[in-house]
Amino acid sequence: MRKRRDNYKDAPQNKLQTPNFPKSDSDKRSFLFCLAFRMLNSMLVQSYFNPDEHWQGPEVAHRIAFGYGHLTWEWKQGIRSYLHPFLFVPLYKFLALIHLDTPWFMMRAPRLLQSVFSAVGDLYLYKLSAVLFGHSVAKWAIFSQLSNWFMFYCFSRTLSNSLETVLTLVSLYYWPCMRTYVVKSSYASRKWGLFVAALACAIRPTSAVTWMYVGFLELFNAHDRLKFVFLEVAPIGTLVLGLTCLLDRFMYGTWVLVPLNFLKFNFLSSGGDYYGTHKWHWYFTQGFTVMIFSHLPFCIAGIVYSKQWKFSGLLAWVLGFYSILGHKEFRFVLPVLPIALMFSGYSLAVIEDPSAGSLEYKGKGFSKKKNKCPPKMTVAILFLLATNIPMALYMSLVHQRGPEDVMNHLAREAFQGNMKSILFLTPCHATPYYSMLHQNVPMKFLDCTPSEEKGVLDESDRFMMDPASFMSKYAQNWSLPSHIVLFDSEEQKLRSFLISFDYREEKRFFNAHFKVDRDLQASIVVYVKKDSTI
């Protein structure tokens, strides 16, 4: 019987040993532990981070499920796919069916669902680390991921970036070119990797940045290049793109090619720059270094000692590519943060067992010797926990929690029938919206749709520049709302105006100890009209 030729040029034949894979029982235990951790994590996240968490996911899903909700300008221009919001629609329908669509559940349920996806991402980081380095590194990679403050703060949020990160970890596990040993079922594995990568690109077109690197690496290493391109990439990519286009055709009511519109706005026209720009080096000097935080020295050491250049190259490629773009955000590079934390896990495994540093990581795994925890290891663990836990808890429980607290309060008031309408005099999209209020009462916020003409200020910017002047003109054509929501920084400038229209302070919620937007938004305040009765 003819021996099947290996797919890769540089894979040594019959010399590489398969590392010690975690067995299925170990996988189950790891997943259940990560699931419990992430569900607790989602309950502890009670702060507001980025508008997209609410406005581009749950808000859209709420509109689909219940018939009311706000669609931002992106949905009118067709640069967002309905694939990600659709994940929350069955959840909302189920809550309504069993009459649990109360303020508490509407606030918590989407993040609890995301926590399930996040636990899958944690599991696949464990599996990927075990494949590359063995069980010991996998154990410490998971420790690094679970202890990292930014993963705790961001991973359970309903951002499309969070799901993109999960899909990235799953896909990387299946790509043969990212492994260091011969894989018997490389064809099937590669197809799964391609399919999940295509889903990641459907969720967020920018995910293509990651898969350009992996795809070209696969193309360079594989013997069956024509088969890879024409029998795998093309059909799988077409299938996922076609299904996504059908979903968007059904929801938009017309044919919309979201990836093309997304590319035109964010890359060809630099539309993202409307929301602010940073220096080219921001990810290296501030953004990513803040995200990885005290794990950074362990990450650097792990990259050097492991010599796993494929993954460190992916890390450099993604950070370098996003550095070219003017508009930068922490969440854009979230998908590669677990890769950096995997290298941190490698360093911790070497500290635990110094003899591991002399072993070839490719296919051999680490020593299984059971030694007492070395003093260096104790210091490293305490250092990481002491620096990350306070940061994670402060950012998740304290900093910028006002928008979620105020919407929780308004949702309870609306649920009890104590309001007629709401006006948000805050920066654009500064609070959640109908997805948390879950009552079809009239609401209005200050618009911030980008103008086609440069230099033209939007409604939100005009208000923030001169609140008193803006409101004096605005009040000429408004119908008085029963509730007004604003930050204390603007309240000071509008207090006399509000009193003149018979508004009184109803509730004040803490928001932040330091600047969030333009000013110190220390608290967020709810004003109610004195004669507003239902």
Q: Are residues 407 and 392 in the same domain?
A: no
Strands 483-487 and 422-425: parallel
Q: Record the pTM.
A: 0.92
Q: Are 484 and 446 in contact (CB under 8 A)?
A: no
Rounded Cα distance, 302 and 311, in Å: 11
Domain presence at residue 12: no
Strand order of the β-sheet with 483-487 is 443-445, 422-425, 483-487, 523-529, 503-510
Q: What is the pLDDT of residue 474?
A: 85
Q: Are residues 439 and 478 in the same domain?
A: yes
Q: Are residues 197 and 212 in the same domain?
A: yes
Phi, psi of 288, deg, nearest 5? -70, -30
Rounded Cα distance, 300 and 2, in Å: 45
Q: Are 322 and 288 in contact (CB under 8 A)?
A: no
Low-confidence ranges of the chain (pLDDT < 50): 1-22, 357-369, 534
Phi, psi of 44, deg, nearest 5? -85, -15
Total Cβ atoms within 10 A of residue 3: 6
Q: What is the pLDDT of residue 72?
A: 95
Rounded Cα distance, 441 and 425, in Å: 17
Q: Are residues 254 and 219 in the same domain?
A: yes
Domain presence at residue 100: yes
Domain presence at residue 75: yes
Phi, psi of 431, deg, nearest 5? -135, 160
The alpha carbon torsion through 19, 303, 383, 137 (nearest 10 deg) reads: 0
Domain presence at residue 10: no
Q: Could you tell me which residues come within 8 angstroms of residue 261 by beta carbon, excluding any fewer than 6 positions away?
A: 77, 78, 79
Q: What is the pLDDT of residue 12?
A: 37
Rounded Cα distance, 86 and 110, in Å: 12
Domain presence at residue 3: no
Q: Are residues 450 and 513 in the same domain?
A: yes
Rounded Cα distance, 374 and 84, in Å: 45
Phi, psi of 487, deg, nearest 5? -80, 155
Alpha helices (runs of H) in 183-228, residue ranges in sequence order: 186-203, 208-221, 225-226
Domain presence at residue 348: yes
Q: Are residues 418 and 352 in the same domain?
A: no
Range of the domain at 115: 25-359+372-398
Q: What is the pLDDT of residue 366?
A: 47
Q: Are residues 123 and 248 in the same domain?
A: yes
Q: Are residues 61 and 202 in the same domain?
A: yes
The letter for the amino acid at 532 is: S
* Structure confidence by residue, pLDDT tens digits, 229-253: 999 999 999 999 999 999 999 999 9
Distances in whole angstroms, Cα of residue 376 to Cα of each of 370, 372, 386, 475, 485: 16, 11, 15, 65, 52
Q: Are residues 386 and 475 in the same domain?
A: no
Assigned token pair, 301: 């050491």
Q: Are residues 247 and 283 in the same domain?
A: yes
Helix (H) or strand (E) holding 507: strand 503-510
Q: Are residues 75 and 106 in the same domain?
A: yes
Rounded Cα distance, 373 and 313, in Å: 32
If one counts the domains in the chain, the total is 2
Q: Are 299 and 389 in contact (CB under 8 A)?
A: no
User: Under DSSP, is residue 524 helix (H, G, I), strand (E, B) or coil?
Assistant: strand
Domain presence at residue 480: yes
Q: Are residues 353 and 479 in the same domain?
A: no
Domain presence at residue 2: no
Domain boundary among 398, 413, 447: 398
